Each structure stands twice: as structure tokens, then as C-alpha cells.
Amino acid sequence: MISFMKQYVVRDMNKISVAIHGTGFIGLVSGCCFATRGIKAINSTFNKGNCERINNGESPFFENGLDELLKEAVSSGNFKCVVGRDKAIEESDISIIAVGTPMRKDNSIDLYFIKQTARQIGHALKKKDEYHLIVVRSTVVPSTTRNLVGKLVEEASGKKMGKDFGLCMQPEFLAEGRSIEDTFKPDRIIIGELDQKSGDILQSLYERFYGNYLENCPILRMNLESAELVKYGNNCLLATKISYANEMARIAELVVGVDIVQVMKGVGLDYRINEEFLGAGVGFGGSCLPKDVNAITAFAKSKGYNPRLLTSVLDINADQTIHVVSLLKKELPDIKGKRIALLGLAFKPGTDDMRFAPSIRIAHHLIDEGASVIGYDPVAEIEAEKILGNSIDYASGVEEALYDADAAIIITEWDEISTIKVEDFKKYMKTPIIIDGRRVYNPEEYNNDIRLVSFGRTEIS
Ligand code: UDX
């Protein structure tokens, strides 16, 4: 029975069409990747302007390599973007939900877009006779796929999950700036399934998509709720590693001569640990780690459990942006009226994303203390301005940011920023005090001529 079903599914896979609901970086990247490997992909959105741009091969946001990939997808003839869900569902066998799940004011997850999309899929399925598989790829708190998506689709379509439509939850692990590479070369595929048929269909899609690559990439099948929690488990552990490294960095700073970079290298070489995400600094930001740690913390609290470890992970992260200002004030006790340059504003290099960027909190702390702040970022100025407005000045280059500054703080390790020379700091700044919030400069090299304060390291005086 199982082998018959698998054969049936695999044979059909050659003609499979996938609808992807959402044109954010996960939805659009997935659609383009499918199309360039010969799988018909239809992205659906309600934003007419974006839809037109996408069909013209122009990405509505910045992501490494996406413009080229999108052009390739459009010209392959396997890709299109449509307005609304109906047409995409009518022409496809599988629906992937890739809409945003932002954070609400109370830190819990906002499932508004998920609910809307589930209802829209339900309405479209009402008009369709064939079996359809629905796959949730957005990050959602455990039980959302079955109890919210599944139920809302049933309500709106009058159909039954497990009979008329299938349900899967497949968490994504794409990091911004690397999302195309992460899609083509995942380290594992997690398939949460309502029933075996749903999981078999999704697995067959990936067998078709990845081919031999799957020899090095395990596919793990489990129930919907476990798959939902894998995503949080993953991001919470990454965030925990960073906050752990930051806590160690604060301890390192208490002992003259200790350097956190060397310490974490030593720790990371333990084969059970590894060096990734042990980089101490101004802390984590972005669209995933802060939102996901907050969402699962709020979820646990709503169920009566207080997750102390995760609460501390968030507290330590928030403290790091206050700590930068205290490090600065050790060098420059009265920062009122002083000109402070923030080098890098985006939450990490390679993106213009400003969501939960540490630069925002650092700018606010400095402004509260009366400092005058000038920020520079190679790509994120427009996004930064949407959040910080005219509370800070914006420089068009490193030189302008440093010009006449009393101190500079390194926030995002863009190449252009990590390679600033000692001479340039000396040449442009009023007083060359540098707080290295990402540990990009070599203290041995820089400290002779300028005052370099490195996170997680106290100089032998
Ligand atoms: C992350 C996860 O990596 C990805 O798997 C998930 O799907 C989404 O969230 P992303 O938010 O794009 O991806 O960025 P990532 O490269 O993981 O960096 C997150 C934040 O942590 C950045 O602000 C970065 O500067 C910070 N970070 C990272 C550190 O402070 N120290 C480190 O050692 C590593």
C-alpha cells in the first residue's frame, strides 16, 4: 500500500505545480529556486505593484543573488507571480504558506496573516475537486498548523483534512543574505505531517528538487507540533549561544588580559560545541532570533511555564546595548553634546534589514544621554530612517561619519567597516576612541595609536 502510494506520488512529481503564498524573502526565494530546477512555481500576493515588479524580474527587496535568480526563474517559463490566492491554488497541487508572523506589542506571535491565508486557501479549495497539500513554512507556535490552519481551511472549504486536503509543517532555516544557498544546500529537511500521505507527497517533491543531494541531507519526519517546535528549538539555541558568549565576555572583561575571542575559539573547538554563534558583541537582531525567542517565551508563559533560561537570553541581549554605552562612558565620561559615530546600522552585514537591529537601541540610549549621533550603513540608511527618523544624522560614507567625531562604535561588521585603517580614524576623528562592538579590529595593531575598546577584553595597562 505504502509503496504503491509512493510510486504514484513520485510519478506525478514530474508535473507537480507549487503555489507559494507570500513574496517575502522565504516565499520568493523558494518560488525562484523551484522554478530554476524545473518545478512550476506560482507565487501569490495581494500587492499588485510587487507582483508586477516580480514578473518583470525585479525583486521588491534586497537579498544576495535574488535579482539574478528571479530573472532566471522568469525566463525559465516555470515561474509567475499572481495577485490573490485563487488562481495560484487552482493551477497547483501544493500550497506553501510563507507569510509573515511578526511580533505583537506584548511580544507574542501575531498570526493574523496566517489566519487570513488559511481562510483564503479554504475559499479557493471549495471550488476545487482535487486533493491539495498545504504546507506551513512560516514560523508558528506549536499546534497552529493543525488547530488553526487546518481548522480554518476546513471551515472555509467545507472539506476534511486528511481526506480532501493534506497538511504539513516544514520549518525553514534560511538566514538572510544566504537564503538562496541555504535553500539549495540545506543541512536537513524537517517534515511535520498530519498523516503519511501528506508527508510522502512533500518528501517526493524534495526528492525531485534535490536529487542526489539528499544523500548528504537527512529528511526527518515527525508530527506537526514537533516540527513547529524544532524551529523554535533551533533559533532559541542559536540565541542562547550568542547570549552565553556575551555573558562570558562580560566575565572576561573583569579579568585584565583575558580576550573573549580566544576563549570562545578554545571553547568552540570542542567537537560537541563548535565555533558558530559564539561571537560576542552588541548582540543579536533581525527578523528571526528576537521574534522567535520572544514568541516561544510568551507562548510558554501563556501555558503557565516561565522559561527562565530564554528570559535571561533576552535580558542579556538587551543589556549588551546598554553595556556599549557604559564602555563608551568609561572613555568619555560626559557624552552630552558629544558627536558619536555609529558604524553599521543593519542587524548584520549583507542586508538592509533593520528589524530589532542593536543599532536602534544603542542610538536611543545615546540620544537619551544627550549625545549627537551620526550613523552610516552601506545599504540600510533608508530602512534606518524609517525607524530612527531625524533623531540621528546619516552619513554617506565612513569618512563623513568619522569626521570630527568624539568616538565611534562598530555595530555591523561590513567589510568596508572592518577594514578601516588606524590612520583614517586618526585623520578624521576629533578624538579617536573606538568601541569595537563586533571584534573586527586587532587590538595589538590598533591600540598603539588610538584608544580601542574591544568587547570581551580588558587591556593590560
Ligand atoms: C537566523 C538563523 O540563522 C536562521 O537559521 C533562521 O531561519 C532565521 O534566523 P538571520 O536572522 O538571517 O538568521 O541571521 P543570523 O546570521 O543568524 O544572525 C542573527 C543575529 O545574531 C545577527 O544580529 C548577528 O549579528 C548575531 N550574531 C550571530 C552574533 O551576535 N554573534 C554570532 O556569533 C552570530
pLDDT score of 257: 93
For residue 8, pLDDT beyond 90: no
Closest CA to ligand 1's atom 2: 175
Does residue 170 have its Cβ closer than 6 Å to ligand 1? no
Distance of alpha carbon 29 from alpha carbon 61, whole angstroms: 11
Edge-first strand order for the sheet with 40-45 is 79-83, 40-45, 17-21, 94-97, 132-136, 165-169, 189-193, 219-223
Half-sphere exposure of 234 (CA within 13 A, CB side): 16
Does residue 278 have its Cβ closer than 6 Å to ligand 1? yes
Which ligand 1 atom is nearest residue 278's CA?
A: 33
Does residue 284 have its Cβ closer than 6 Å to ligand 1? yes
pLDDT score of 419: 97
CB 118 within 8 A of CB 148: yes
pLDDT tens profile 32-74: 999 999 999 999 999 999 999 999 999 998 888 999 999 999 9
Distance of alpha carbon 85 from alpha carbon 111, whole angstroms: 18
Topology alike, domains 2-217 and 234-454 = yes
Beta bridge partners of 96: 20, 135
Q: Of the candidates 261, 276, 291, 39, which has an alpha carbon nearest to the alpha carbon of residue 178?
A: 276
Domain ranges, ordered by start, for the chain? 2-217, 234-454
CA 295–ligand 1 middle distance (angstroms):
17
How many helices and strands in the chain, by DSSP H and E?
Answer: 20, 14
Which ligand 1 atom is nearest residue 283's CA?
A: 30
For residue 223, pLDDT beyond 80: yes
CB 354 within 8 A of CB 347: yes
Q: Which residues are catalytic?
A: 288
For residue 7, pLDDT beyond 90: no
Residue 11's pLDDT band (boundaries 50, 70, 90)? very low
Residue 461's pLDDT band (boundaries 50, 70, 90)? low
CA 286–ligand 1 middle distance (angstroms):
7
Residue 459's pLDDT band (boundaries 50, 70, 90)? confident
CATH number of 2-217: 3.40.50.720, 3.40.718.10, 3.40.50.2300, 3.30.420.40? 3.40.50.720
Instruction: Give the homologous superfamily in CATH for domain 234-454.
Output: NAD(P)-binding Rossmann-like Domain (3.40.50.720)
CA 406–ligand 1 middle distance (angstroms):
30
Which ligand 1 atom is nearest residue 438's CA?
A: 30
